[in-house]
Structure 1
Amino acid sequence: MQWFRLDVLGQAPIRDTHKLLSGVAMIPEATNHDLLRRFEALGNLDLSLRTRLRDAAVPLHLERGQIAFDEGSPCSAFTLITEGCVNVVKTASSGREILLYRVEPGQTCVLTLNCLLESLTYPARGIAATECHGAALPREVFMDMLDIAPGLRQMVFQSLSARIVELMGLVEEVAFNRLDERLARLLVARLNSSPGGEIQITHQELADELGSVREIVSRILGSFADREFVALERGRVQIRDAEALKTISGTG
């Protein structure tokens, strides 16, 4: 399955890569504007390259929960998210998953970059965490632009560097920190985007992010609830004592 889905004038989703990238639909002007605004390197391209980007790119649309790319699938386009979020996860043979990183507006997927540059297949899976919009640029166009646009090359290198640091942090978390510390840290981090302290997330989703199993995460959440650090409801966690969670996580 490919990174993206294309909806054109009410047609059914087009899943074949060659059809998808055949230019059946140009990106709307609003999407082009969002690309140039979200991705500074694209906005700084000269007029001829910005025009080529607009003419070659095709619309991207993913529903929440849709697989954006699957492990072992080929990569034929450079994807640019302008709205929404894609979770990149690695799945073990046992079925357990761990969140490697998220791709949000203005960010690039390093696995996509690596697969494009080295002609490899995806080593992990991408899943739309929310409804996503953006654009997909065919590989040959992306590679040509990479050769002649220093700003685009710099964006690629910076993205690779930042993700390497992020993944090193993930390895350290998994290898050296207890699960209750990691869970507390994750809940505290989610507070910034959760009005009223209510986090919309299931126990399974928390387990997937932490690379654990639901039963263990539920048990730790239960202990937090017993101490009145959180209140648990179906599909949500209400934070009652953020300072206590910060202390557990080592950030307080």
Structure 2
Amino acid sequence: MNIYKILDPEFKKEIEGSRDLKLFSAGTVILDINSYINYIPLVVSGSIKVIRTEEDGREILLYYLTPGESCISSILSGLTQDTSKVKVVVEEDAEILMISLQQAKDWLKKYPEWTDFIFGLYQRRFEDLLEVVNAVAFQKVDTRILHLLNQKSQLYKSKELNVTHQQLADELGITREAVSRVLKQIETDGKIQLFRNKITLL
């Protein structure tokens, strides 16, 4: 759900007037597991990814955030003064509006559309999580890999993706060897073309 599509002029003016806008380069961790949340990130440009990390180091991608979106897990944990249950990493260079918790609470009372935005995010991310559970439980690895590649293609608006087999493995929560083996089969099927640290969707 994109916040900029539901703002009334007064709310938009307040956001722009009180903004704490920060620039982050790709790969930057802006929120880690078990850390306390002081600000809620709202993506202005670029994209970020939300990851669940286990103690043994394994990770799995939960969903991406694009301009106009925020992390519902960060919002809920921040407003309840709980620690983060997810890791948030910049996928591509991003401008992020850091909204203070107090400001977020004030907006809940002042602007109904902010409440609508949060409920909309909750519904959207719940559906995303159901997709992740469904993919892990029922889909074959090749289907999961192609879905992730298509997600990245939409994010970057390009069929050529600068991504390594290890990066895909990390985001899918499987081994690099499994990813490499399946990518070779997908290439044989004529759906992708593999290069060093780059994959082209056909």
- Cα distance in structure 2, aligned partners of 1:81 and 1:189: 17
- Cα distance in structure 2, aligned partners of 1:139 and 1:188: 34
> 1:71-220 maps to which residues of 2 (within 5 A)?
71-192=33-154, 195=158, 197-220=159-182
Contact 1:200–1:237 (CA<8 Å) still a contact in 2?
yes
**What's the CA shift for 1:140?**
0.9
Tell me what 2:8 maps to.
Answer: 44
Contact 2:46–2:67 (CA<8 Å) still a contact in 1?
yes
Using a 3 Å threshold, how does the CA distance of structure 1 residues 189 and 98 change in structure 2: closer, same or farther? same
Could you state the TM-score of these two structures normalised by the residue count of structure 2?
0.88
Which of the two has greater strand per residue? 2
What RMSD in Å do the two structures reach over aligned CA positions?
Answer: 2.2
Contact 2:36–2:78 (CA<8 Å) still a contact in 1?
no
Could you state the TM-score of these two structures normalised by the residue count of structure 1?
0.72
Using a 3 Å threshold, how does the CA distance of structure 1 residues 194 and 135 change in structure 2: closer, same or farther? closer
Using a 3 Å threshold, how does the CA distance of structure 1 residues 191 and 67 change in structure 2: closer, same or farther? closer
Contact 1:203–1:218 (CA<8 Å) still a contact in 2?
yes
Q: Structure 1: which 5+ runs fail to align?
A: 1-36, 241-252
Which structure exhibits the higher relative contact order, with contacts defined as CA atoms closer than 8 Å and separated by 6 or more residues? 2
- Cα distance in structure 1, aligned partners of 2:101 and 2:133: 31
**What's the CA shift for 1:38?**
6.0
Q: Structure 2: which 5+ runs fail to align?
A: none
